[in-house]
Amino acid sequence: MSVLVTGAAGFIGFHLSRRLLERGTPVIGLDNLNPYYDPALKRARLAKLHELAEAHAVPFALIQGDLEDKAAVEAAFHGRDLAGNPLPPGPPERVVNLAAQAGVRYSLENPSAYIQANLAGFGQILEGCRHHKVAHLVYASSSSVYGGNTALPFSEHQSVDHPVSLYAASKKANELMAHTYSHLFDLPATGLRFFTVYGPWGRPDMALFLFTRAMLAGQPIDVFNDGQMVRDFTYIDDIVESLVRVLDKPAAPDPTFNTAAPDPATSWAPHRVFNIGNSNPTPLMAYIEAIEAALGTTAQKRFLPMQLGDVPATAADTTALEAWTGFRPNTSVQVGVARFVAWYREFYGV
């Protein structure tokens, strides 16, 4: 079985591709290596993947292109490079779509990037899955779809009709688009609502990376909402374990689905959505304390108001995920942050 991983040079895509290669699964990666954050970090991740593929004698190939680039996406689904030459992994039997324009705050500055990548681009992926009879599509959604909801923990059974950012709206749209393809074309599809993923090789625009870099440089950190934030921080290894288990168990129709009282979590079609979180919401100040402990320094804190499009708290109900996969994310913030700091020091030599 070969797997197409879009966003393979990204944070989660890199870790998932690494895990798949380690277990002997051939991988085709699709990534545009855009400069939303340092492309050098993305290239370093790809170099690791190529090294791992060679060490395990498992095929890995990368196609560089955008999700909205029809030629690049079609090449990936045919198992060919952009010149039409066959790639060793062959055509993918399953797809994990992790490529997207990320970031709530950036969606205020450049909304067109989200419309192109997250809507038009995802449409290309759905069309590829449809026409190539893919056995299972797993795609990234986000905890941000819960928007203005304040009933915690967030459950897949709740309505997600009130997003507070374009990024969140694009992810809700992805869920609707995937469900439609599942219904019309019998495409098994599973959406995963990620809750604040962190860990080694993480994104430089995320709080852990920003805080660590600033603290090591003796600079102040920006703490929004005067520190009164709570997040369900989820360690990357737990995310990948969940991802692999979901990938191996395609979505199926819910035989008990009631069309007179529809449940947003399931469907008569082969489509499911799951929360992936640590189910242990952590105050932002406690998260900062974990970074301080790992670095052996105290942060200079600059307290600021809440940013537009943000929410004060997230918390995941992961009972459905555990029932489906037999796994529940469980890495503590203290352990996960310490692992990130150790990686950061080694990678950047500080």
In the numeric block, which tokens belong to residue 225?
């909402």
Residue 27 counted as domain residue: yes
Q: Is 264 helix (H, G, I), strand (E, B) or coil?
A: coil
Residue 228 counted as domain residue: no
146 is catalytic: no
Confidence label for 52 from pLDDT (cuts 50, 70 and 90): very high
CB burial readout 161-199, b (16+ within 10 A) else e: eebbbbbbbbbbbbbebbbebbbeeebbbbbbbbbbbbb
- Provide the pLDDT for residue 207: 94
CA atoms 13, 14, 15, 21: torsion sign: positive
Range of the domain at 41: 3-198+234-278+317-325
User: What's the number of domains the chain is made of?
Assistant: 1
Residue 11 counted as domain residue: yes
Percent of the chain with pLDDT over 70: 100
Residue 309 counted as domain residue: no
Q: Which of 167, 181, 235, 287 is catalytic?
A: 167
pLDDT average, residue stretch 323-350: 97
Q: What is the pLDDT of residues 251-289, one digit of tens each?
A: 999 999 999 999 999 999 999 999 999 999 999 999 999
Residue 307 counted as domain residue: no
- Provide the pLDDT for residue 110: 87
Instruction: Give the pairing of strands 189-194 and 136-142.
Output: parallel
The answer to whether the CB of 198 falls within 8 A of the CB of 208 is yes
CATH number at residue 191: 3.40.50.720
Q: What is the pLDDT of residues 223-238, one digit of tens each?
A: 999 999 999 999 999 9
Residue 170 counted as domain residue: yes
Establish whether the linkage from the previous residue to 59 is cis, with ω within 30° of 0.
no
Q: What is the pLDDT of residues 95-138, one digit of tens each?
A: 999 998 887 778 888 899 899 999 999 999 999 999 999 999 99
Residue 82 counted as domain residue: yes
CB burial readout 24-50, b (16+ within 10 A) else e: ebbbbbbbbeeebbeeebbeebbeebe
Residue 155 counted as domain residue: yes
pLDDT average, residue stretch 310-330: 95
